[in-house]
């Protein structure tokens, strides 16, 4: 049984905007109380950025609510229904199977931010699952999502980690934990797929009006607001995917239920940053056909957006043909925005300001060289940034990355020529080329220390360094190194 908060007690989670959605889209659901809740980590950086006071989050009441033990009877938690195309297959009913939406807090500028618990017990949508999360999967999402935020890439954020005191069985017993996740919205393409299936066009219209009011109020008075919303969703996805690719990120489960309407990275399951560059790289243990490989991500995002287009058509135009034409016109924008962002991003990474056919070819050749030479993506761009800064021995260290010295020297020569004609500064290169990413083996080491030895120091250290990936203290440089052969993580898993 959950304890309940009396109305006299103040807590900052006072909104529950999703109650404005059609009634079939959500249900009340109580988290499972934790047997021995502990606050393992509170993300003070995030609270500072949101300009929200941290006192409540550390208080007894705060911990009791965030660990699912106490609920606010005046604003009960809900779970949301959604459908999905998972790996291209239609799944009519998914929904929050291990997450509870507590509601929203308000930041000092009036923005409402979702506070959701993940790993907080079974819900009406759990199917055969236990509704739980292991400490390891929670720390993984924390580290990778906060690394993403450090890289200035839109993402859900990790606000806190709580130990539940309960064990979670995944082959063996693991400590259970809850991640407190924040987002600008938790609505996904899958929410629209659910609305059309269960509620038809009226349901879709209500859902679309809701999202405009909550997250795109600037569109509200426009006569073509639905089409403009779709355009904005497309632009955000195209820009997001380009940003992922520019830092070597592979999401791994780009299903429609994991495609956020507001363009934030969501669902850190089998995702990973790659070490050695390989455009066909896949980590996810269940992605056998390379559907979500690094270089497949734009076409998959486009496919997901086409699913959304089908659902929104009646809102674009009463005439079906005209509606289809309008949707197509918007969808065509995806490729343009993606290519533009990716090309500009690559130019910045290489320190080239002038975009030409030749410089585009040079980028393509650079990526081919990295693949052939098995060069670490992050280290390569970090070293050229050091060359641009005229650091000691940087030239030698760059060439050392190439097995074939002649390939290296030829590439270096060409790069110097392109650089000479360009004006992009070292500072701009530095902002495009992180020194550190959330490397799988480092994430695993932090998880193992916490899970097996109750030692959270490696987790804290890694999250501190990842928060500012464009600078590094000499003492932390070892966190930057690629894995030794025995440290290589070959596969990553969903929902563990
Ligand atoms: P994901 O692959 O994390 O996007 O999850 C797909 C679906 O499975 C979502 O509806 C989740 O809520 C659900 N799910 C994942 N893990 C669990 C679990 N341990 N218990 C119940 N539902 C789960
Ligand atoms: Mg998901």
User: How confident is the prediction along the chain (496 residues), in pLDDT tens digits per residue?
Assistant: 999 987 667 899 999 999 999 999 999 999 999 999 999 999 999 999 999 999 999 999 999 999 999 999 999 999 999 999 999 999 999 999 999 999 999 999 999 999 999 999 999 999 999 999 999 999 999 999 999 999 999 999 999 999 999 999 999 999 999 999 999 999 999 999 999 999 999 999 999 999 999 999 999 999 999 999 999 999 999 999 999 999 999 999 999 999 999 999 999 999 999 999 999 999 888 888 899 999 999 999 999 999 999 999 999 999 999 999 999 999 999 999 999 999 999 999 999 988 999 999 999 999 999 999 999 999 999 999 999 999 999 999 999 999 999 999 999 999 999 987 777 788 999 999 999 999 999 999 999 999 999 999 999 999 999 999 999 999 999 999 999 988 888 888 776 6
What local confidence, expressed as pLDDT, does residue 493 receive?
A: 79
Quote the ligand 1 centre to 139 CA distance (angstroms).
17
Supply the pLDDT for residue 7: 65
CA dist., res. 108 & res. 50, Å (int): 7
CA of 103 to the centre of ligand 2 (A): 19
- Residue 425 is predicted with a pLDDT of 85
In angstroms, the Cα distances linking 429 to 102, 338, 365, 469 are 41, 20, 19, 13
Using DSSP, state whether 312 is helix, strand or coil: helix
Residue with the two structure tokens 């690629």: 482
* Alpha carbon of 129 to ligand 2 centroid (Å): 13
Look at residue 496 in the predicted model and tell me its pLDDT. 64
**Residue to mutate, 32, 82, 285, 495, ligand 1, most ligand atoms under 8 Å from C-beta:** 495
Q: Which residues pair with 249 in a beta bridge?
A: 273
pLDDT, position 288: 85
Dig out the tokens for 261 from the structure: 């309407």
What is the per-residue pLDDT for 25?
A: 98
| Contact by Cβ (8 Å): 381, 375 | no
Residues with a catalytic annotation lie at 257
Name the residue of 97, 120, 124, 268 to mutate for ligand 1: max ligand atoms within 8 A of Cβ: 97
Residue of the CA atom closest to atom 12 of ligand 1? 97
Residue 267 corresponds to which tokens in the numbers above?
A: 């669902």
Report field, pTM of the whole predicted structure over 0.85: yes
Determine the 3-state secondary structure of 79 from DSSP: strand
pLDDT reported for residue 421: 74
What is the reported pLDDT for 466?
Answer: 98
Q: Please, which residues have CB within 8 angstroms of residue 387's CB and are 6 or more apart in sequence?
A: 394, 395, 398
CA dihedral for 167, 169, 173, 177, sign (positive or negative): negative
The pLDDT tens digits of the residues spanning 159-198 come to 999 999 999 999 999 999 999 999 999 999 999 999 999 9
pLDDT at 467: 98
> In sequence order, which residues have a C-beta less than 8 Å from that of residue 236 and are 6 or more positions away?
154, 262, 263
Nearest residue by C-alpha to atom 7 in ligand 1? 94
Question: Which atom of ligand 1 is nearest to 255's Cα?
Answer: 4
- Residue 492: predicted pLDDT: 83
Distance 451 CA to ligand 1 centre (A): 21
Minimum CA distance residue for ligand 1 atom 11: 97
CA distance 423 to 71: 57
Q: Is 269 in the pocket of ligand 1 (CB under 6 A)?
A: yes
407: which 2 tokens? 């390939």
CA distances 447 to 146, 200, 478, Å, are 15, 44, 17
Residue 267 CB less than 6 A away from ligand 1 = yes
């Amino acid at each position: 049984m959950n304890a309940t908060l009396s109305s006299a007690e103040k807590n900052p989670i006072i909104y529950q905007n999703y109650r404005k959605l059609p009634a079939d889209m959500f249900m009340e659901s109580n988290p499972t109380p934790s047997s021995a809740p502990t606050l393992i980590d509170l993300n003070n950086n995030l609270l500072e950025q949101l300009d929200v006071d941290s006192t409540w989050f550390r208080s007894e009441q705060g911990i009791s609510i965030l660990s699912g033990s106490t609920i606010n009877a005046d604003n009960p938690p809900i779970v949301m229904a959604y459908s999905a195309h998972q790996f291209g297959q239609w799944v009519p009913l998914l929904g929050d199977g291990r997450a509870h939406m507590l509601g929203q807090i308000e930041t000092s500028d009036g923005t409402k931010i979702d506070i959701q618990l993940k790993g907080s017990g079974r819900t009406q949508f759990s199917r055969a699952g236990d509704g739980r999360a292991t400490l390891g999967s929670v720390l993984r999402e924390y580290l990778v999502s906060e690394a993403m935020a450090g890289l200035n890439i839109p993402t859900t954020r990790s606000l806190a980690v709580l130990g539940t005191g309960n064990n979670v069985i995944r082959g063996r017993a693991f400590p259970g934990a809850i991640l407190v996740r924040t987002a600008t919205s938790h609505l996904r393409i899958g929410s629209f797929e659910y609305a059309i299936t269960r509620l038809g066009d009226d349901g879709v219209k209500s859902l679309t009006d809701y999202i405009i009011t909550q997250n795109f109020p600037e569109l509200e008075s426009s006569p073509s607001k639905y089409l403009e919303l779709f355009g904005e969703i497309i632009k955000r996805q195209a820009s997001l995917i380009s940003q992922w690719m520019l830092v070597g990120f592979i999401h791994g489960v780009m299903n429609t239920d994991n495609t956020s309407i507001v363009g934030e990275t969501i669902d850190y399951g089998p995702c990973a940053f790659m070490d050695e560059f390989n455009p066909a790289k896949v980590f996810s243990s269940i992605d056998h056909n390379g559907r979500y490989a690094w270089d497949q991500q734009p076409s998959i995002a486009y496919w997901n957006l086409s699913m959304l287009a089908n659902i929104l058509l009646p809102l674009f135009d009463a005439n079906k043909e005209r509606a289809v034409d309008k949707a197509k016109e918007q969808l065509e924008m995806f490729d343009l925005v993606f290519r533009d962002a990716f090309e500009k991003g690559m130019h910045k990474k290489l320190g080239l300001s002038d975009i030409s056919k030749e410089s585009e070819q040079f980028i393509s050749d650079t990526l081919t060289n990295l693949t052939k030479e098995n060069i670490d993506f992050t280290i390569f761009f970090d070293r050229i940034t050091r060359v641009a800064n005229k650091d000691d021995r940087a030239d030698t260290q760059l060439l050392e990355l190439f097995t074939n010295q002649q390939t290296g020297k030829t590439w270096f020569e060409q790069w110097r020529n392109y650089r000479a004609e360009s004006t992009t500064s070292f500072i701009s290169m530095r902002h495009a080329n992180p020194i550190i990413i959330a490397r799988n083996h480092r994430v695993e080491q932090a998880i193992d220390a916490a899970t097996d030895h109750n030692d959270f120091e490696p987790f804290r250290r890694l999250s501190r360094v990842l928060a500012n990936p464009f600078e590094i203290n000499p003492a932390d440089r070892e966190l930057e190194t690629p894995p030794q052969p025995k440290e290589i993580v070959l596969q990553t898993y969903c929902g563990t």
